[in-house]
Amino acid sequence: MNPWPRQYDVRKVHMGRASEGADLLNMLNEVCREREIRAGAVSLVGAVSCAVLMYYRQETKRYETLPEITQGMEIIAGTGNVSLKDGAPFVHLHLLLADEQGQTVAGHLAEGTIVFACEYTITELDGPALERAHDGDTGLYLWRG
Ligand code: ZN
């Protein structure tokens, strides 16, 4: 039987503001670990002063770093989820950023993305454990069925 989708109830919605200078990914992971959020959805808006985004190359099954973004950018959208990896809360987030021309760049959020301003919403969910495990077909750490 297909184990997906699983059903969850909303336990709590956490709304927060990140400080200027914070590392976006580390900050989100810390919030989830402190609050013991084991399953959830993340969305955010704001701005970054620089960013490191990744792209997963399917042929090589490796993440590649996109050219580093060294200027301030708007966060048009940040969307992702929280689940468990190695027993600890783990945030997986994708970002869509725009420059002063409205030109966009997007990718998988990596450490080294620094907040200028950020408002985030983490919707904590109640339900079955959502754990990541290595998937041989894709090379990714996907939710275990
Ligand atoms: Zn990703």
The CATH number that applies at residue 18 is 3.30.1330.80
Residue 142 pLDDT exceeds 90: yes
- Residue 110 belongs to a domain: yes
Distance from the alpha carbon of residue 40 to the mean position of ligand 1, in angstroms: 15
pLDDT per residue as tens digits for the range 75-131: 999 999 999 999 999 999 999 999 999 999 999 999 999 999 999 999 999 999 999
Sole residue written with tokens 């983490």: 122
Does residue 140 form part of some domain?
no
Residue-averaged pLDDT of the chain: 97
Asked if the structure places residue 69 within a domain, the reply is yes
Q: What is the pTM of this model?
A: 0.96
Assess whether pLDDT exceeds 90 at residue 134.
Answer: yes
d(CA 143, ligand 1 centre) in Å: 13
Residue 61 lies in a domain: yes
Q: Which residue has 């275990």 as its token pair?
A: 144
Domain residues for the domain of 62 are: 9-127
- Is the residue at 13 inside a domain? yes
Tell me the β-bridge partners of 44. Answer: 78, 120
Number of domains in the chain: 1
| Residue 143 domain-assigned (yes or no) | no
* pLDDT-derived band at 145, boundaries 50, 70, 90: confident
